[in-house]
A and B are shown apart, each in its own frame.
Chain A
Amino acid sequence: METLAGTNVRVNEEGYLLDFSEWNREVGEQIAQAEGITMTPRHWEVIEWLQDQVKADKALSIRGIKKSGVLDIKEFYALFPGGPLKISTKIAGVPKPKSCI
């Protein structure tokens, strides 16, 4: 079982949390740093929105961002460059969007 460096927080091979109950802001901060992202209040707003979506059983998608009213897709890319959904979900401690295989 892998853990996040210097903590007991369990993660999978790609660094995603196995159990959201082990998440807190310091954990999110540490993952963000490793991804080269400096968290701002705006980043945290997005992270909280993502977590609320997952709690409400809603699938995460770029479309969902577009219709969220929280931010637009351009800003999403600016905040989490590269693969915004993949990176932001890792920081948020929730699973990345997947297919069936």
Chain B
Amino acid sequence: MKNLVILGAGTAGTMMANHLRPKLKRSDWNITIVDQYKTHYYQPGFLFLPFDIYTEDQVKKPGKKFIPKGVNYVQKKIEQIFPEDSKVQLEDETLHYDLLIIATGSKIAPEEVEGMKGKNWHKNVFDFYTYEGALALRNKLRTWEGGKMVVHLTEMPIKCPVAPLEFAFLADSYFQKKGMRDKVDLTYVTPLSGAFTKEKSSAALGYLMKEKNINLEIDFAIESVDNDNNKIIDYGGREVEYDLLVTIPTNMGDEVIARSGMGDDLNFVPTDHNTLQSKEYENVFVIGDATNVPASKAGSVAHFEAETLTDNILLYIEGKPLKPEFDGHANCFIETGKNKALLIDFNYKQEPVEGTFPVPGIGPLKLLKESVFNHWGKLAFRWIYWNMLLKGIPIPLVSRNMSTKGKKL
């Protein structure tokens, strides 16, 4: 009997359990998935919680519901991985593995910036990348009377790189709806050289910031949050004042990666970009936000990775060469407010361009263009996530590798 262990029962880990259980003989392989938390969150929904678009119940379900029969679900803390000995130390037991899949994700690390997680944390300094942060922000916004709102991005890479922009767009809509947009001064602060950094996106979407009257501060590398004077300060000495700061803190891989000595500077695991095998240990594979691959950290990326990784794990077990197949494919809806959204489809090499998706020339979704239909797509995705994506059911017409068909290249 051999043992396959999956660390993390988030989007990526849960999908791998669902993909692999039917493909590995139960008489040959035990599959164990480890995650200390009971609740599975629909993380894309955290964007909608602060604006009262989604309720708490719509973004969380018991994780157990999505773990297939025949998979051993262990709810314990992971202390350390010992890759040289092919074993994982949990809080009170040791798991030996023949094959390990690391899917421990990424999370915010506000303590990386001086003063960020200070006395005003979740008072007038908020994140919305956690369930708690998104809820605290919702409660604040319900009674907020206006002032300077700063939407701020600390540093790349972050989970869902477009979320901070979407937040700013949705905030504009939200305050308009409440009849108080004129009382809110909205500013977007980024360490990058613009709100949009890719040529085609800048050209196609540059109008959005102006149209929504959002001020822009670029090249802002934050050094500290000054909680006494309510301002953020960058290394060059620039200051931006706020009454309400909504920040995306530094994103880092799980501490267990650091404890195990397996990560880079940000606790992400060095991973082959195309096979998803660990660069250091051949019986270790990595998927989702936990990797250091230069793809977006997003559920759609984990979904496409899961298909390639499933094939590669079967090839590895058969002793055959792995497929260098994963191309960095991502497919993301971007809310632009007022019930419209964009859709982008891209990979390691191809930046987002205009076109139609998923049926070339027809759509019905439009790439890199605002439409109401795209917004419906984003809302429908929550159902797809819970009912298809996590269970490893293929999404019709959407392939693991990016297609250039229907795209204006």
Which chain B residue shows the least CB distance to A101? B201
Min CB distance B65 to A, Å, is: 31
Q: Which of B196, B219, B265, B351 contacts A63 (CB 8 A)?
A: B265
Please list the 6 inter-chain residue pairs (A to B) with the smallest Cβ-Cβ separation, ordered nearest first: A83-B219, A101-B201, A98-B197, A62-B221, A73-B235, A99-B161
Which chain A residue shows the least CB distance to B164? A99
* 22 pairs, A vs B, C-beta closer than 8 Å: A59-B294, A63-B112, A63-B265, A64-B265, A76-B235, A81-B236, A83-B218, A86-B193, A96-B197, A97-B192, A98-B197, A99-B192, A99-B196, A99-B198, A100-B198, A100-B296, A100-B330, A100-B332, A101-B162, A101-B196, A101-B201, A101-B351
Which chain B residue shows the least CB distance to A13? B199
B344 at the interface (CB under 8 A from A): yes
Contact A62 B191 (CB under 8 A): yes
A67 at the interface (CB under 8 A from B): yes
- Cα–Cα, bound, A100→B330 (Å): 9
**Residues of B close to A81: CB separation below 8 A:** 236
Contact with B along A76-101 (1 / 0, CB 8 A): 11000111111000000000111111
**Residues of B close to A77: CB separation below 8 A:** 235-236
Q: Which of B162, B193, B332 contacts A96 (CB 8 A)?
A: B193
A74 at the interface (CB under 8 A from B): yes
Contact A82 B219 (CB under 8 A): yes
Contact A101 B235 (CB under 8 A): no
- Cα–Cα, bound, A7→B265 (Å): 39
Contact with B along A39-80 (1 / 0, CB 8 A): 000000000000000000111011110010000011011000
**Residues of A close to B218: CB separation below 8 A:** 83
Min CB distance A24 to B, Å, is: 25
- Cα–Cα, bound, A67→B201 (Å): 32
A38 at the interface (CB under 8 A from B): no
A33 at the interface (CB under 8 A from B): no
B388 at the interface (CB under 8 A from A): no
Q: Given contacts A62-B235, A67-B265, is CB(A98)–CB(B296) below 8 Å?
A: no
Min CB distance A15 to B, Å, is: 12
- Cα–Cα, bound, A13→B199 (Å): 8
Contact B250 A63 (CB under 8 A): yes
- Cα–Cα, bound, A85→B218 (Å): 12
B188 at the interface (CB under 8 A from A): no
- Cα–Cα, bound, A101→B223 (Å): 25
Main secondary structure of the interface of A (DSSP, over half): loop
- Cα–Cα, bound, A64→B279 (Å): 21
Interface size on B, residues (CB 8 A): 34
Q: Given contacts A62-B191, A62-B235, A83-B218, is CB(A97)–CB(B162) below 8 Å?
A: no
- Cα–Cα, bound, A83→B194 (Å): 11
B355 at the interface (CB under 8 A from A): no
Contact B161 A73 (CB under 8 A): no
| CB contact list, B201-260 vs A, under 8 A | 201, 205, 218-219, 221, 223, 235-236, 250
- Cα–Cα, bound, A58→B294 (Å): 9
- Cα–Cα, bound, A97→B266 (Å): 16
Contact A100 B250 (CB under 8 A): no
Q: Which of B197, B205, B221, B294 contacts A73 (CB 8 A)?
A: B221
Min CB distance A79 to B, Å, is: 12
Given contacts A61-B156, A101-B201, 16 further A-B contacts (CB under 8 A): A57-B294, A59-B294, A67-B265, A73-B235, A74-B235, A83-B193, A83-B219, A84-B236, A96-B193, A98-B197, A99-B196, A100-B161, A100-B332, A100-B352, A101-B205, A101-B344
- Cα–Cα, bound, A77→B223 (Å): 13
Min CB distance B321 to A, Å, is: 22
**Residues of A close to B198: CB separation below 8 A:** 98-101
**Residues of A close to B162: CB separation below 8 A:** 99-101
**Residues of A close to B221: CB separation below 8 A:** 62, 73, 85
Which chain A residue shows the least CB distance to B222? A62
Contact A101 B197 (CB under 8 A): yes
Which chain A residue shows the least CB distance to B295? A100
Min CB distance B167 to A, Å, is: 14
B346 at the interface (CB under 8 A from A): yes
**Residues of B close to A74: CB separation below 8 A:** 235
- Cα–Cα, bound, A35→B296 (Å): 31
Contact B192 A100 (CB under 8 A): no
B79 at the interface (CB under 8 A from A): no
